[in-house]
Structure 1
Amino acid sequence: MKVLITGARGQLGLCLQSRITNDFEAIALSSSELDITSKSMVNHAITTLQPDLIVNCAAYTAVDRAENDEKAAYSVNCTGPENLAYAAAILGIPLIHISTDYVFDGESKTPYLPESPTAPTSVYGNTKLAGEKAVQAITSKHIIIRTAWVFSEYGSNFVKTMIKLGSSKDELGIVADQIGCPTYAGDLAQLIIMFADKLKNADFNQYGVYHFCGNKAVSWYDFAKEIFTRQLSVDENYKVPKLNPLSTAQFPTAAKRPQYSVLADNSLPLLGLLESSNWRNSLSTVINKLNG
């Protein structure tokens, strides 16, 4: 099976490339190699490469910047997936598209299911939901995976930011009233590979929306504590900063964050797929990699 991966230089794209096996012929293209916002470029790439599956890892993820850059966010998060969906539909091939917890308002007290009502409260969330809807409207052969709080050894993410800030700050204020499930990009990549393996079967018909995230809900504050505990375990000379819990009101941002971002999906185990990510184990793996 020939798999075209977009957003090849992002966290998920890099994790996917490092894990995909020789059972697949992976063609990974960065945004500079394939601008998914260009319909002509997408059509040319798909026609030339003739993949059997498209995995869209490309996204505009600068949540706060999106508030003043809606056009660019919409272009990448909606127009891009729309172009890929049209190309996939023409070839009759499946499209795996990655989405986010930001399609919800965060007001729930129980985990969000794939069928839960969406109500984004930010430009980023609105553009990602628009991308979902475009994919669903264009091709029936879609798998949309919503995830949250992604971290890895690659790119920019909360884990790397905490370790960097901690090495130069005596104190850090961390939001303690936003709850979610950290998700290791490597585990998400493994789920995508498992889906791809099932898609080799021409009779596969379990298309739709899925949720995948870490297995234990935590606040950003408690996540930071876990990060520093593991960093100290591999670097005994690391000076852990004092952590001060903050409320969302004490840490204003341009975009409104969901207060509650816990995702759940009862259908994944029924398909024999990964149900969730053991983020604490994965965090240790990432910390070890970052420390060489």
Structure 2
Amino acid sequence: MATRILIAGAAGQLGSALLSEWRGRTGPHAGRFDAVGVGSSEMDITDPAAVRAAVMRFRPRVVVNCAAYTAVDAAEADEPAAHAVNAAGAGNLARACADAGCGLVHLSTDYVFSGEGCAGAGGYEPDDPVGPRTAYGRSKAAGELAVRSAHPAAVVVRTAWVYTGAARQGGGDFVATMRRLEAERESVDVVDDQCGSPTYARDLARGIAELVAVLAVRQTAPDAWPRPAGRTLHATGGGAATWYEVARAVFEELGADPDRVRACRTEDMPRPAPRPRYSVLSGGSWADAGLTPLRHWRPALAAALAEP
């Protein structure tokens, strides 16, 4: 009998990639998982009763929470809206999973850190102090605390700079935007003083699928699973780059002149929410947990742009 996996926020970048990953799996996990995706209309995580009813209805072995309020700039003007989903909603789902005895993988973000520096040369580690500087980051940091409090066996996975690059499908992530602008503009200005870990959604989905396979097998013995940094892991594409470097790489992959991308400073493009200057997350915790590291961002980007 296939193991039931419930994906909250299944219409988003990662949720969609996860559904595609599980429904198209081949190899050792083929046929072992029955992935069900729900959106806010089917399970509003801000409604505790609706969450509990959905978890009882689907009876999953593991829930993956991709549901989130991700409008970073809008959150500055309406922090309660972000908190309702990212903090209170995450807590609702964690309590329902704990009560039902199912595992939980909760997705979080680099925005929980200040983005002003790093404790180590390899990027932020899971146990580095958080210090969010945006409403969105504060809501996600509060969500992590709510999840850990309600479901101590849950796994929090922080990621960063997620993209699909799917411009033809109307994608709005950075890579998709650069893909579109290459066809529309003679040149584009992109900040060169923000550094992070570009993460291809399909690669992240494969990583989460591997993690869930481990959790599903060991759900009956949760203490047998490694507990790095209080069950917090970082999963991003390998390496690091600035947005300017990513944009140039997009142009190169499209056969366009990368010099059409012009470097600028963060101050040249003010936004309501301050952007982290440094968002590199160390992949050490992921590897230490016995999980396969995600690809380096550059070949992953080439694979994304090769998608039809």
Specify the TM-score bucket, using the shorter chain as the normaliser: over 0.9
**Which amino acid is the alignment partner of residue 224 of structure 1?**
A
* TM-score normalized by the length of structure 2: 0.89
Matched, 1:40 2:60: no
Indicate if the aligned counterparts of 1:170 and 1:241 stay in contact, CA closer than 8 A: no
Q: Which runs of 4+ in 1 moved over 3 A?
A: 238-241
Q: Distance in 2 between matches of 1:159 and 1:270?
A: 30
Residues of 2 paired with 1:76 and 1:86: CA distance?
Answer: 14
- CA–CA distance in structure 1, aligned partners of residues 18 and 11 of structure 2: 10
Quick check: 1:187 aligned with 2:198? Answer: no
> What is the letter of the counterpart of residue 4 of structure 2?
K
Give % identity.
40
- Figure out how many residues of one structure are paired with residues of the other and give that number: 285
**Aligned counterpart for 1:242 among listed residues 257, 260, 279:** 260
**Amino acid paired to 2:137:** G
| CA displacement 1:223-280 (0-9 Å, x = unmatched) | 1000110011xxxxx6767222111111111001110011003232233212233221
1:86-129 deviation per Cα after TM superposition (whole angstroms, max 9, x unaligned)? 10110121110000000001122431000000000000100000
CA distance in 1, matches of 2:190, 2:178: 10
| 1:136 paired to 2:148 | yes
Aligned-partner SS, 1:96: strand
Unaligned residue ranges in structure 1 (runs of 5+): 233-237
Q: CA offsets, 1:47-77, max 9 Å, x none?
A: 1111111100111111111111212211111
Deviation at 1:158, TM superposition (A): 0.4
In structure 2, the residue matched to 1:101 is 110
Residue in structure 1 matched with residue 242 of structure 2 by the alignment:
219
Q: How does 1:1-292 map to 2 (within 5 A)?
A: 1-20=3-22, 21=25, 22-109=31-118, 110=121, 111-154=123-166, 155-199=171-215, 200-201=217-218, 202-203=220-221, 204-207=224-227, 208-232=231-255, 242-289=260-307, 292=308
Q: Which position in structure 2 is the counterpart of 1:235?
A: none
Give me the TM-score of the superposition, normalised by structure 1: 0.93
Q: Which amino acid aligns with 1:205?
A: W
Q: Distance in 2 between matches of 1:226 and 1:240?
A: 7
Look up the SS of the partner of 2:225 in the other structure. coil
- SS of the aligned residue for 2:105 comes to strand
Q: Distance in 1 between matches of 2:296 and 2:131?
A: 28
Counterpart secondary structure, 2:306: helix
Cα distance in structure 2, aligned partners of 1:40 and 1:180? 38
Contact 1:64–1:253 (CA under 8 A) maintained in structure 2 = yes
Query: In structure 2, how many angstroms separate the alpha carbons of the residues matched to 1:231 and 1:23?
Result: 38
Higher mean displacement: 80-89 or 14-23: 14-23
Unaligned runs of 5+ in 2: 26-30
Give the residue type in structure 1 aligned to 2:304.
V
Report if the CA contact (8 A) 1:214-1:279 is conserved. yes
SS of the residue 1:12 aligns to = helix
Question: In structure 2, how many angstroms separate the alpha carbons of the residues matched to 1:68 and 1:264?
Answer: 31
Q: What is the distance in 1 between the residues matched to 2:47 and 2:155?
A: 22
Mapped contact 1:5–1:27 kept (Cα < 8 A): yes
Q: Distance in 2 between matches of 1:247 and 1:283?
A: 23
Displacement of 1:179 in angstroms is 0.5
Question: Contact 1:57–1:97 (CA<8 Å) still a contact in 2?
Answer: yes
Distance in structure 2 (CA, Å) of the matches to 1:28 and 1:153 = 22
**RMSD after superposition:** 1.5
Letter of the structure 2 residue corresponding to residue 162 of structure 1: M
